[in-house]
Amino acid sequence: DTFNAAVPHVPSTATSSVRCEITLPPGQQTEGYRYMYENMTEKTDTIDDRIDRFAGLLTDTIRPTLPATEQEDFELTHAGYPSQEPTVAVGRIACDSIEEGSKLNDMSILLESSRAGGGSRVKLNIKDMQESGVPFSFFPGQIVAVHGVNPSGRSFNVAKVTCPAIPPSATTAASHLLALYPPDDPVSRTPINIIVAAGPYTLDSNLSFEPLEALVTDVVEVEKPDVIILVGPFVDAAHPLIAAGEVNQDLDTLFRNEIATRLERMRGARQGTHVVLVPSTRDAISDWCAFPQPPLAAASTPDLARARRTALNLAPSILLVPNPVQLAINEVVVAISAAEFAFHAQGQLVVSRPGQQHPRVDRIAQLHRHILEQRSFYPLVPPALDDACIDSAHLGALELQARPDILIAPSRLKRSVKVVDGCVCLNPGRLASAAAGGTFAKICLHPLDIEAI
């Protein structure tokens, strides 16, 4: 599949030079931490703070749309506030059933307010929206503002929904752009070629990592990319042989023999190739199964982290980043998460039916939009139990600091690329499926034309 086919792909060569700078902004989970030390008070405070903060964002979104005479006095109410007059309430979407496996549907939607609003949970009646064809999309954990009436204080009749605005794009100082792309330097006009792949990297029947070998031999050593982004799991704890304990070597040795040796070949494909590793909570060689997750060789102290990197035979030039991560390749902001929000949330999504005025909702694009609107790599609450064990004490590391230019969200869903409000949302698929090789993605980033600015 090709996206933006009109943009030429300019291949790299063994001798080509390119300006490629990878940076990480502050505020990310770059160091190890103690998890499973949450308490209920801190957890509920975190939830309340998030709802209250989004109430401010939603107020800023709604107020400019009101008549001038109503803007100054406009305030959001809480979900349980009874009113015969139209009102706007803010809260978090929840399901009315607490049984494990329960899924949100159009009859089970609740709106939960923060404790500042009494902590009330009120049923949402969306029948009017369904009959009038007003578009909507709900999932558990989503923070929204609902417009309508709540005459009894127990059931809110929703006329329409307002979602938070997607955060603005990051900005780059003009002086930094000029340093990246000097007008008189031909190297600054060379595109950056990127390979993106996500684990698992071996078939279910063995641990020989044949799909990874094919990626190295047939793609990396031939095309010699400038950047290689590999997303975990690298040694998958859910692999049938590993889960059954049918491995004849320890997992660190398996990583060194099967992963680290191939990473060295990737680095040697051409001088200056950047290799970036993003871990997964399913990585059996990581000490962290909580999300957010520090880098692959993280430890409780810097000295132990360096020893761990050495034990895994990872060269100092390999960039180990957290999961999730927001990084910049020159001025292009790339956000990456190994947690499968789209896969976990797809079965919980309640969307409007297509009509004459509103076409069918692209569910994949809508799921990516929710990540951007909710400003979180994983806004689903409660999270999936298998590989999204969220540590609420570190939720700040899950928040999007700005609208990324590229969002990389690998998933078991079919590979896809969507554009959502100027953000290219990419699911490269998995490099290995249960019984066959899978898919990966190639990105060609053309440099910014400084002279055209």
Same domain membership, residue 278 and residue 233: yes
Query: Is the per-residue pLDDT at 57 higher than 70?
Result: yes
Same domain membership, residue 47 and residue 75: yes
Both tokens assigned to 154: 């127990």
The model carries a pTM of: 0.94
Longest dimension (CA), the chain: 74
Instruction: Tell which phi-psi region holds residue 70, choosing left (phi > 0), alpha (psi between -120 and 50) or beta.
Output: alpha
Same domain membership, residue 173 and residue 69: no
In a domain, 437, yes or no: yes
CATH of the domain at 278: 3.60.21.60
Same domain membership, residue 251 and residue 326: yes
Both tokens assigned to 56: 């401010």
- Cα angle 20, 22, 23 (rounded to 5 degrees) comes to 145
Contacts of 111 (CB under 8 A, 6+ apart): 79, 89, 91, 92, 93, 94, 121, 122, 124, 144, 146, 156
Same domain membership, residue 182 and residue 144: no
Q: Torsion angle of alpha carbons 113, 115, 119, 125, nearest 10°?
A: -10
Instruction: Yes or no: say if 447 and 191 are a contact pair by the CB < 8 Å rule.
Output: yes
Contacts of 49 (CB under 8 A, 6+ apart): none
- Each as own residue / partner, the long-range contacts of residues 239-247 (CB below 8 Å, 24 or more positions apart, any chain) are 239/200, 239/202, 239/204, 239/207, 240/204, 241/204, 241/206, 241/207, 242/207, 242/284, 247/207
Q: What pLDDT is recorded for position 23?
A: 94
Instruction: Yes or no: say if 260 and 313 are a contact pair by the CB < 8 Å rule.
Output: yes
Q: Torsion angle of alpha carbons 164, 419, 294, 339, nearest 10°?
A: 90
Show which of 122, 145, 162 is a domain's final residue: 162
Higher-confidence residue: 383 or 216? 216
Same domain membership, residue 398 and residue 249: yes
Question: What is the spatial distance between Cα 90 and Cα 154, in angstroms, rounded to a whole number?
Answer: 15
Same domain membership, residue 242 and residue 132: no
Residue 282: CA count within 13 A, CB half-sphere: 24
Chain segment 183-213, per-residue pLDDT in tens = 888 888 889 999 999 999 999 999 999 999 9
Chain segment 206-223, per-residue pLDDT in tens = 999 999 999 999 999 999
β-partners of residue 156 are: 124
Distance between first and last Cα of the chain = 32
Range of the domain at 62: 42-162
Provide the domain count of the chain.
Answer: 2
Phi, psi at 112, each rounded to 5°: -110, 125
CATH of the domain at 141: 2.40.50.140
β-partners of residue 417 are: 426
Both tokens assigned to 364: 């994949």
Question: What is the spatial distance between Cα 205 and Cα 436, in angstroms, rounded to a whole number?
Answer: 10
Tokens 């059933």, residue? 97
Considering the chain, what percentage of its residues have pLDDT values greater than 90? 65
In a domain, 412, yes or no: yes
In a domain, 1, yes or no: no
Question: What is the spatial distance between Cα 151 and Cα 333, in angstroms, rounded to a whole number?
Answer: 46
Q: What pLDDT is recorded for position 157?
A: 95
Same domain membership, residue 255 and residue 139: no
Confidence of residue 38 (pLDDT cuts 50, 70, 90): confident
